[in-house]
């Protein structure tokens, strides 16, 4: 990776590494997958922010885990805010083992909450196809009940194996990270200057704080922390469901 390029200019070589990521570059440009045997994402690409833009679109993507056994994947529901400059912000979600009715309740709760937020121009929900057929039958049945709200759910249909499998899905995020266009909630002691100013100007809805949830065993977790845990060791992470759910924004 650090060698002198022969068939490319030094500038073109640096651009290849930046836009494709080291794992892809090692395979396609060096014909040596071992040259990219390291974490795909870099800690220096992590960005944090304390307020969001005034107007955003919200994407809610669910990667369901059918099993609740110990060691199995978690259900990952990533809520991403997307602005006019094509920046992404991890704003909300869930990341623990959930039953079918809990997944439905979580999607309903998230959609209802974000539809009511000022500056949100649209809220879109997506669900992974390979957990979708049986789940959708249940969701549609529940939506027909008078007390429940009906809303469209986009089928997220990239395959689990072969070209376009999970590894290919997740590495689509690399340019977003490397170009500094993906933001996590800033963790701070008390209110920041930006947050205080936003509240004073009547725009408290722009304030970003870390999302905290309780898992199926009642333990407290922070969505941003779980995201970073997967991010720092991918593709060698034991679980990568939250990264995968986030990558599904490209399918919407």
184 SS3 class: strand
Q: With a cut of 70, say whether residue 30 has pLDDT above it.
A: yes
State percent of the chain over pLDDT 70: 90
55 SS3 class: coil
Q: How far is 28 from 32, CA to CA, in rounded Å?
A: 8
pLDDT value at position 36?
A: 55
Q: How far is 125 from 222, CA to CA, in rounded Å?
A: 22
pLDDT value at position 73?
A: 78
Q: How far is 213 from 96, CA to CA, in rounded Å?
A: 9
Q: With a cut of 90, say whether residue 244 has pLDDT above it.
A: yes
Q: With a cut of 80, say whether residue 164 has pLDDT above it.
A: no
Task: List pLDDT tens digits, range 72-81.
Answer: 679 999 999 9
Mean pLDDT, to the nearest integer, of 226-246? 91
For residue 88, give both structure tokens: 């992404």
Q: Contact, 235 vs 244, CB < 8 A?
A: no
DSSP calls for 20-35: H-HHHHHHHTSS-GGG
Backbone φ, ψ for residue 147 (5° rounding): -80, -10
Backbone φ, ψ for residue 196 (5° rounding): -65, -40
Task: List pLDDT tens digits, range 35-63.
Answer: 555 678 999 999 999 999 999 999 999 99
Which residues are paired to 78 by β-bridges?
61, 93
Q: Which residue has the higher pLDDT, 171 or 72?
A: 171
What pLDDT band is residue 32 in, cutting at 50, 70 and 90? Answer: low
CA-based nearest residue to 95, from 216, 234, 198: 216
pLDDT value at position 211?
A: 97
Mean pLDDT, to the nearest integer, of 14-42? 73
Task: List pLDDT tens digits, range 174-208.
Answer: 999 999 999 999 999 999 999 999 999 999 999 99
Burial class (CB in 10 A: 0-12, 13-18, 19+), 6: exposed
Q: How far is 13 from 7, CA to CA, in rounded Å?
A: 9
Q: How far is 152 from 162, CA to CA, in rounded Å?
A: 29
Which residues are paired to 80 by β-bridges?
59, 90
DSSP calls for 202-233: T-GGGB----EEE-TTS-EEEHHHHHHHHHHH
What pLDDT band is residue 33 in, cutting at 50, 70 and 90? Answer: low
Mean pLDDT rounded to a whole number for the chain: 88
């Amino acid at each position: 990776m650090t060698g002198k390029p022969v068939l490319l200019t030094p500038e073109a070589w640096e651009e290849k590494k930046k836009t494709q990521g080291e794992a892809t570059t090692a395979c396609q440009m060096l014909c040596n997958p071992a040259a990219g045997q390291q974490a795909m994402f870099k800690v220096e690409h992590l960005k944090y922010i304390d307020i969001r833009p005034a107007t955003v679109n919200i994407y809610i993507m669910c990667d369901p885990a059918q099993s609740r056994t110990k060691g199995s994947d978690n259900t990952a529901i990533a809520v991403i805010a997307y602005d006019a400059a094509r920046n992404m912000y991890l704003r909300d979600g869930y990341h623990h083992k959930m039953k079918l009715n809990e997944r439905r309740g979580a999607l309903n709760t998230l959609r209802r909450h974000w539809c009511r937020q000022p500056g949100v121009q649209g809220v879109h929900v997506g669900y992974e196809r390979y957990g979708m057929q049986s789940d959708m039958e249940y969701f549609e049945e529940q939506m027909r009940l008078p007390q429940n709200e009906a809303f469209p759910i986009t089928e997220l249909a990239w395959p689990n194996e072969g070209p376009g499998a999970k590894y290919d899905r997740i590495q689509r995020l690399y340019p977003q990270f490397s170009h500094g266009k993906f933001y996590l909630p800033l963790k701070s002691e008390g209110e920041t200057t930006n947050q205080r100013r936003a509240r004073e100007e009547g725009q408290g809805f722009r304030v970003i704080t870390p999302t905290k949830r309780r898992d199926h065993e009642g333990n407290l977790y922070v969505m941003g922390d779980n995201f970073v845990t997967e991010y720092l060791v991918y593709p060698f992470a034991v679980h990568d469901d939250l990264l995968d759910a986030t990558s599904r924004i490209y399918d919407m």
